[in-house]
Amino acid sequence: MSKKRYASSDDLEILIDYHPNPMVLSDMNGVILAINSKLAAVFDKPKDELIGTSGFRHIGKKVVTPRKKAIEIVVKTKKPFTFEDKDMGRWWRTEIHPVLDEEGNVAKLATYIQDISKHREHEEKSLAKQQEYYSSLVENSNDVISIVEKDGTIRYQSPSVEKIFGYKSEEMIGKNILEFVHPDDSSRITKDFTEFIKKRGSIGTLTEYRVKHKNGYWIDCESTRNNQLNNPNIRGIVANTRDITERKKIEQLIKESEGKFRMLSEQSLMGMIVFQDNKVKYLNDAMVSITGYSNEEIINGGAKILSKIIHPEHYSFAMEQLRKKQVGDKNVATH
């Protein structure tokens, strides 16, 4: 039976040197006891010159303190500790493992180091692209994006604010949002905002109010809000605000038009009835008087009421004209 052959110290050194990543064995004070060629190359010194010296002498001053704290964690917990930092222009992932003595105390430290610069550079480039993408969305959005503190102070205002309200971002940042809200809307907005900040993580309903343009006139606005006060990356209320002035003007014109129509139809001796999706949306008093049916009977009957108030000989023709009108066909008889 052949005798077992155990690896010599030279064999172990060869094994360590052939490892693709830098490695070092040190005492509790960081003095190098053994080091492989990969790490010696990083320090650009022969191994013999490094052994017996403090490892902290060969690294940047900025990383000395955090790495000493990492050693303290390993000694205290007797468990491996991994961290990432940047030194000598490279990013490193370092694993410090405790080497325990017979009594279970930490006697030495085995440190394994990996150069992760390419990985971090890829992450940073990806992050930069994402930031550029989202910045482009914010800057070119027709909405004004704001971050507001819980006391109403504006902390961030997207560049689109100048296009809509005339102010530069820096002219609004640091001021209270109520400084720009119409006095008649102020108390309502204050009450609504006070209630909303209590609902952490919630999304508010659409809120309409008026904001003063830099040139002095008022703009009708609509805002949605997202309560991110508990989000450590935001810690504020995120608001998306858009100009709805033109929409409000159109709504007012429609309201005025409907009012004029209603006034004229109520004074008319001609029966009038308006259908939408086969439901009665409006009828005047003359229609009730002419047909003899009550207001409720006509409304509840919907389009079917026409079969009762139109002569059978004309019913098919009338229903065809109604169908054409509903689908937008312009070839509809008007008399």
- What does the pLDDT read at residue 9? 64
pLDDT at 208 over 90: yes
pLDDT at 308 over 90: no
- The ranges assigned to domains in the chain are 9-117, 139-243, 268-326
Tell me the whole-structure pTM to 2 decimals: 0.47
For residue 223, the tally of other CB atoms under 10 A from its CB is 21
At 137, is the pLDDT very low, low, confident or very high (cuts 50, 70, 90)?
Answer: low
Closest CA to 22 of 122, 90, 72, 80: 90
pLDDT at 261 over 80: no
pLDDT at 307 over 90: no
CATH architecture of 268-326: 2-Layer Sandwich (3.30)
| Signed CA dihedral, 31, 37, 41, 45: sign only | positive
Q: How far apart are CA 178 and CA 139, in angstroms?
A: 24
- What does the pLDDT read at residue 138? 61
pLDDT per residue as tens digits for the range 4-21 = 555 566 666 777 777 788
Fold of the domain spanning 139-243: Beta-Lactamase (3.30.450)
DSSP string for residues in 112-129: EEEE-HHHHHHHHHHHHH
- What does the pLDDT read at residue 124? 82
HSE of 194 in the Cβ direction (CA atoms, 13 Å)? Answer: 7
The CA-based dihedral angle spanning residues 18, 20, 25, 29, taken in that order and rounded to the nearest 10 degrees = 150
Q: How far apart are CA 47 and CA 25, in angstroms?
A: 12
- What does the pLDDT read at residue 112? 93
For residue 296, the tally of other CB atoms under 10 A from its CB is 9
Domains 9-117 and 268-326 belong to one CATH topology: yes
The mean per-residue pLDDT over the stretch 210-217 comes to 95
On whether the CB atoms of residues 152 and 176 are closer than 8 A, the answer is yes
- What does the pLDDT read at residue 241? 93
pLDDT at 32 over 90: yes
pLDDT per residue as tens digits for the range 105-118 = 999 999 999 999 98
Q: How many residues can be counted in the chain?
A: 335
- What does the pLDDT read at residue 335? 61
On whether the CB atoms of residues 108 and 99 are closer than 8 A, the answer is yes
pLDDT > 70 in the chain, percent: 93
pLDDT per residue as tens digits for the range 122-131 = 888 877 777 6
Fold of the domain spanning 9-117: Beta-Lactamase (3.30.450)
What is the pLDDT of the chain when averaged over all its residues?
Answer: 86
For residue 158, the tally of other CB atoms under 10 A from its CB is 22
